[in-house]
Amino acid sequence: MKFVDTAKIYVEGGHGGNGCMSFRREKFIPKGGPDGGDGGNGGSVYLVGSRSMLTLYDLQTKPHFRAERGLHGKGKKMHGRSGVDVFIHTPLGVVAYADGRMIGELINHDEKLLIARGGRGGRGNMHFASASRRSPRISEEGNPGDRRTIQLVLKVISDIGIVGFPNAGKSTLLNALAHSRYKTADYPFTTLAPNLGVLKSAKRNIVLADMPGIIEDAHKGKGLGIQFLRHIERTRFLVLVIDITMHQPLKQYRSIVKEFEQYDQGLMKKPRIIIFNKIDLLNRLKKYNIKERTFYVSALRGDGIKELGEYLSNEN
């Protein structure tokens, strides 16, 4: 299924049912009091987080949702049934916006977020009786439900985000750590959407995310730009992958850090390590002195992968 991380949906809460105007009519009771029941409330529309979903593709192809209206009240103080709620399942990490304002996000499985409230049902005439008005010919109509346009943005949730320039070997590293089989090739932007893998450890399973390649000025939207950067907001730990065979590898490192600073200072506070990849292509290994913990690996050949996996398992 195609990976889609944004969607616009149109939602409408159900209309409330009308209250009833009715009077008690039975044998030997010719002038009974008011007994009109209330209308039912309209159904509401909720987003529901689901760990089994990974994309917003279904919501992009089916964007309209309307909850059921409430039934009208009846005589003999019979209230109308409330409308059935609508539940829209989304991946974890979805943020919902309405009118440019964030209204909530879904982080946990089965977590619910109300996005369109159903209309209140109208009151029947039994509510309007008083000492001075014993036969009220008044009832209320139900209220309409909320009608809104909701913008959904998916920010992938993972324990570790693998980031780097295009063609740095990120997908190959993910395959080596998680024993997965994501597409790799010797050209830039092979990865166009986050790939997820699981690093199994003695303590727990750790979710890895291979992010699309970053380039200079990504924070301005260049390349995959913001689509890439927003997905690393929810990672707890960052792995920066540098192609050690490139001219001036540290320039890649500085460019990535600069993009983090320009996009969101919060990214600078996340713990990170540096991976110098493709050491199998070097005649002589040169090591660099930087403040972060560094590893020198060949993701393709497997050099250094065991030690890297053990470190990530212990740190996460």
279 in a known ligand binding site? yes
Q: How far apart are CA 83 and CA 45, in angstroms?
A: 11
192 in a known ligand binding site? yes
In a domain, 1, yes or no: no
**Across-strand partners of 128?**
none
- How many angstroms separate the first and last alpha carbons of the chain? 30
21 in a known ligand binding site? no
Looking at the 3D structure of the chain, how many domains does it have?
A: 2
Are the beta carbons of 142 and 82 closer than 8 angstroms?
no
Residues 90 and 20 occupy one common structural domain? yes
In a domain, 36, yes or no: yes
Q: How far apart are CA 79 and CA 123, in angstroms?
A: 9
82 in a known ligand binding site? no
Label residues 236-271 b or e (16+ Cβ within 10 Å = b): ebbbbbbbbeeeebeebbebbeebbeebeeebeeee
189 in a known ligand binding site? yes
Q: Which domain holds residue 60?
A: 6-154
169 in a known ligand binding site? yes
Strand segments (E) across the chain: 6-12, 45-50, 64-66, 86-91, 94-98, 101-106, 112-116, 147-154, 160-164, 195-200, 205-210, 237-243, 272-277, 293-296
Are the beta carbons of 275 and 239 closer than 8 angstroms?
yes
Residues 130 and 86 occupy one common structural domain? yes
Per residue of the chain (316 residues), what is the pLDDT tens digit?
A: 566 888 999 999 999 999 999 998 887 777 778 999 999 999 999 999 998 887 898 998 899 999 999 999 999 999 999 999 999 999 998 999 999 999 999 999 999 999 999 999 999 999 999 988 888 999 999 999 999 999 999 887 788 989 888 888 888 898 888 876 544 333 343 444 567 777 877 777 788 888 776 655 434 444 444 566 777 887 889 999 999 998 889 988 998 888 888 878 888 889 999 999 999 999 999 899 999 999 999 999 999 999 999 999 887 6
Residues 190 and 292 occupy one common structural domain? yes
167 in a known ligand binding site? yes
Q: What pLDDT is recorded for position 101? A: 95
213 in a known ligand binding site? yes
Supply the CATH number for residue 225's domain.
3.40.50.300
52 in a known ligand binding site? no
Q: How far apart are CA 263 and CA 215, in angstroms?
A: 13
Residue where the block lists tokens 């497997």: 302
Residues 241 and 255 occupy one common structural domain? yes
Residues 121 and 257 occupy one common structural domain? no
DSSP 289: -
pTM for the model: 0.72
210 in a known ligand binding site? yes
One-letter amino acid at 175 equals N
One-letter amino acid at 132 equals S
90 in a known ligand binding site? no
132 in a known ligand binding site? no
Q: How far apart are CA 145 and CA 14, in angstroms?
A: 5
Are the beta carbons of 58 and 4 closer than 8 angstroms?
no
300 in a known ligand binding site? yes
Q: How far apart are CA 166 and CA 186, in angstroms?
A: 10
Question: 257: Cβ–Cβ under 8 A, 6 or more apart, which residues?
Answer: 268
In a domain, 235, yes or no: yes
Are the beta carbons of 210 and 162 closer than 8 angstroms?
yes
201 in a known ligand binding site? no
